[in-house]
Structure 1
Amino acid sequence: MDLIIAMRTFAEVAHAGSMNAAALKLKVSGALVGQRIAGLEDHLQAKLLNRTTRQQKLTEFGESYLEQCRDILELVDFSEGKASDQQRLAQGRLRIAAPVSFGTSALMPALKSFREIAPEVEIELTLSDNNEDLIAGGFDAAFRIGELEDSALIQIKLAPYRMMICASGVYLEEHGEPKMPSDLNNFSAVLLSRTGRKPWRFKQGSEEQSWTPQARISVNSGQAVRVAAKAGMGVAMLPETLIKRDISTGNLVQLLPDWSLPEQPMALIYHRDRYRPQRLTKFLDFAKSVFRNQLA
C-alpha cells in the first residue's frame, strides 16, 4: 500500500462526504477507494470511519488523524514544489489565542470575513487575558497587547491598542463633565482589577497630567466594567474597540477627548517554522489587512 495515496484518499473521502463522491473526484472506482481506506485502517490498527448503508461518519480517531493527514500532505506538496497558491487549499484546524476584550469586540466580528476567504478552515479561538504559551498550548498564533519580550517567535506589528475614558450620560448629569484631568478628583471610577489603582496618564501637546482613580468597584472583566459604566456606576478607562459602538449610540460619552492616553503596542505572534500551513498563511494575511491600520 502506498501510504501517501491512502492518506490522500482518506482526506478526500472526509472532504467529499462519501466514498462514491471521493471516487468521482479522484477518478477511480468506489471499490478501490474502499480498499485504500481499509488498507489504511489496517495499517493504523484503528477505525477511521463508521459506515452504514446510508451515511458515514469519522470516528474520534479519524477526526484527529484527518488533521495530521492534511498537515502531512500539505508538507509533502510543499517539499515537492507542487503546491501553487491555487492548488493548496487552506483547510484544517487553526488554534488562535487573543485577549478577551479584543477577541470579543474586534476579532470575533471579523472572523465572518475570514470564513468567506477560507471556508474549509476550522477556527478554535481561546480568549484569555493571560499570555498563553504558543508551544505548551498548541496554538498556531496569538494576539498580544503590550510590550513583547525578545522571543524566537515572529511578530507582526498591528495598530496600537487605544484606550478611552468614558461614563454614562446619567452619571454625567449628576456629577458634571470633566474639562481637565484634574476635574476627575470629584469622580468615582470602575476599575479593571488586574490594572489596580495605577495612575491614568493624560497628555495634551507638551502638557502631561495624571490621576489616580478612586474606586469602590473593581472587576476582572472589561465587559463587566463596560456594563457598570453604562449603568452609571462611575467613569471607566476601556479599549476603544470595546466601547466605540456605545459612544456612537450615546450609551456612553467619551470624556476628555482632547487629551490622549498612552497607547499599547499590539502584535500577532507565531512560530518561526520554515514550513507554514496554508491556513495559517491565509490568517496572517487576513489579520494584517484588518488590524494593521484599524482595530475594528
Structure 2
Amino acid sequence: MGLFRSMQVFVMAVQEGSMSAAAVRLGMSPAMVGQHVAALEERLGTRLLNRTTRRQSLTDFGTSYVEQCRDILDRVAVADRDAETSQTKARGQLRMTAPTTFGAEVLMPALQRYRALAPEVTLDITLTDRNVDIVEEGFDIAFRIGELPDSRLIARSLTAYRMMICAAPDYLVWRGTPKHPSELSSHEVVGFTPASRSPWRLSKGNEEVEVAPHMSITVNNGQAVRTAARAGLGVIMQPAILLASDVQAGQLVQLFPEWHLRERPMSLIYYRDRRMTPRLRSIISFAIAEFGADPEEPA
C-alpha cells in the first residue's frame, strides 16, 4: 500500500471518529481502511489507534503522528494546486469505464472527436456491464446506464437510453407478429441478463402495459442478444442505437413502434472529492456536448 494514501486514510479515520465513517467518506470498505492503518502501524512499529468494537482513540504517538500527517498532506495539496494552476492543457492518462454495448457502438466512434480536442490525453477504457466501483478500482470517470443510488458520486445527466423491441422477419413468419404488447407472453424472448428480471413497461396515450415475458434465453452481452435475434431465436428489447441499422437493413423488424418504452437514464459519474484536473474537465465537457446533458444542470 502507498504510504501517502495510507496517511490520507489514517487522517480521515481520526477526523471521522471511526473506520466505518471514514470508509463512507473515502468510498472504500471499512476493512480496507483498517488495512491502511495497520500498514502504517507495521511500518512505524507502534500502535496509532486503540480500537475496540465500539470506539477508537489515538495513542500518544498517534496524536503526534496524525498532526505530522496533516502537515504533509497540506503541503502536498498546496503543491498540487500550484501545479494545476500552471497546467491548463489536458494531458496524462485518463481511466474510464462504460457499459459494453454503449462503449462499443457509441462511445468508441465518438472518441475520434475527443482525441482531436485532447491529443495529449491517453485513454485507458474498460467496457463492462458490471457496476464498477470507480473509487476502489481507480477509475476517473464512468458512463452509467440506470439508477444511481450512490451519493458519493457526482452524476451529470446525459440523454436517456431509448429502447426498442424487435424480432427477425423469419421468426415473425414462424410465430406470427404480435399486435399488442400483452401477446408477448406467448413468444420466445431473448433477454439481457442484467435487466432480465425487470418487466417491460410500454405506454400509448392513456394506456399503460407492463409485461413480464418468459425469457427462453438470457445472455450477459448486448451484442450477443442482438445476434440471437437476427438468428431468429426470439423477440428482444435492446437500445435503439444498437438495433437501428438492423431495422433499416431489414434484418430485424421493430415491434410496437407506436408504443413508448420506458427510457433508461444515462449518466456520467465521478467521485465528488476528485480534483478537477484539465483532463477530467475535458472529458466531462466532451461527453456532455456529445451525448446531451440536462440543460438545467450547471457545467
| TM-score of the aligned structures, taking structure 1 as reference length | 0.68
Q: How does 1:224-239 map to 2 (within 5 A)?
A: 224-239=224-239
Q: Which residue of 1 aligns with 2:279?
A: 279
Check whether the contact 2:96–2:123 (CA below 8 A) recurs between aligned residues.
Answer: yes
Q: Which residue of 1 aligns with 2:29?
A: none
Q: Which residue of 2 aligns with 1:35?
A: none
Compared CA separation, residues 133 and 177, structure 1 to 2 (3 A): same
Q: For the residues of structure 2 that align with 1:274 and 1:268, how far apart are their CA atoms?
A: 14
Check whether the contact 2:196–2:215 (CA below 8 A) recurs between aligned residues.
Answer: no
Q: How does 1:144-159 map to 2 (within 5 A)?
A: 144-159=144-159
Q: Counterpart of 1:76 in structure 2: which amino acid?
A: D
Q: SS of the residue aligned with 2:131?
A: coil
Structure 1 unmatched runs, 5+: 1-71
Cα-Cα RMSD: 2.3
Q: How does 1:235-250 map to 2 (within 5 A)?
A: 235-250=235-250
Structure 2 unmatched runs, 5+: 1-77, 295-299
Compared CA separation, residues 73 and 248, structure 1 to 2 (3 A): farther
Are 1:89 and 2:93 matched, yes or no? no
Q: How does 1:77-116 map to 2 (within 5 A)?
A: 77-79=83-85, 82-83=86-87, 88-116=88-116
Q: SS of the residue aligned with 1:232?
A: coil
Check whether the contact 1:96–1:142 (CA below 8 A) recurs between aligned residues.
Answer: yes
Q: SS of the residue aligned with 1:202?
A: strand
Compared CA separation, residues 273 and 293, structure 1 to 2 (3 A): closer
Shift in Å, 1:107: 0.8
| TM-score of the aligned structures, taking structure 2 as reference length | 0.67
Q: Which residue of 1 aligns with 2:190?
A: 190
Q: How does 1:57-72 map to 2 (within 5 A)?
A: none
Q: Deviations over 1:81-134 (max 9, x none)?
A: x44xxxx22111100011111111111111111111111111111111111111
Check whether the contact 1:74–1:277 (CA below 8 A) recurs between aligned residues.
Answer: no
Equivalenced residue count is 218
Paired-residue identity, %? 47
Q: For the residues of structure 1 that align with 2:275 and 2:219, how far apart are their CA atoms?
A: 42
Shift in Å, 1:272: 2.4
Q: How does 1:201-280 map to 2 (within 5 A)?
A: 201-273=201-273, 275-280=275-280
Q: For the residues of structure 2 that align with 1:223 and 1:259, how far apart are their CA atoms?
A: 24
Q: Deviations over 1:230-275 (max 9, x none)?
A: 1111000111122122122222111101111111111101122474
Q: For the residues of structure 1 that align with 2:119 and 2:127, how far apart are their CA atoms?
A: 22
Q: Counterpart of 2:221 in structure 1: which amino acid?
A: S
Are 1:132 and 2:132 matched, yes or no? yes
Q: For the residues of structure 2 that align with 1:176 and 1:102, how far apart are their CA atoms?
A: 31
Q: For the residues of structure 1 that align with 2:171 and 2:79, how far apart are their CA atoms?
A: 60
